[in-house]
Amino acid sequence: MAAKDTTKKKAGMGEYFKGVKLEMKKVIWPTKKETTSYTAVVLVTCAIFALGFWLIDTGVLAALRAILGVTM
């Protein structure tokens, strides 16, 4: 029984990697220009969100200091 399981597992792994290779051939990779554009969009979006979170955090901190009278 163990020999059958090992053979089946090896055949399964081979079929798996054949399937991976077949699927990788179907992938349409982005061009260098598209990759640069996508990267710029991601960086700008991250910067905008970072700025937004910083502003919210600063506002909440200022409000808590005003309400609780805490000084640093």
Summarised one tens digit per residue, pLDDT across range 5-48 is 566 666 788 899 999 999 999 999 999 999 999 999 999 999 99
- Alpha-carbon gap, residue 41 to 43, rounded angstroms: 6
Residue 59, pLDDT above cutoff 70: yes
Global pTM reads 0.61
The answer to whether 64 and 70 have CB atoms below 8 angstroms apart is: yes
> What's the pLDDT score for residue 13?
87
Among 40, 19, 38, smallest CA distance to 29 is for: 38
Domain ranges of the chain: 2-68
What lies within 8 Å, CB to CB, of 23 at 6+ separation is: none
Question: In which band, very low, low, confident or very high, does the pLDDT at 66 lie, cut at 50, 70 and 90?
Answer: very high
What lies within 8 Å, CB to CB, of 36 at 6+ separation is: none
> What's the pLDDT score for residue 11?
72
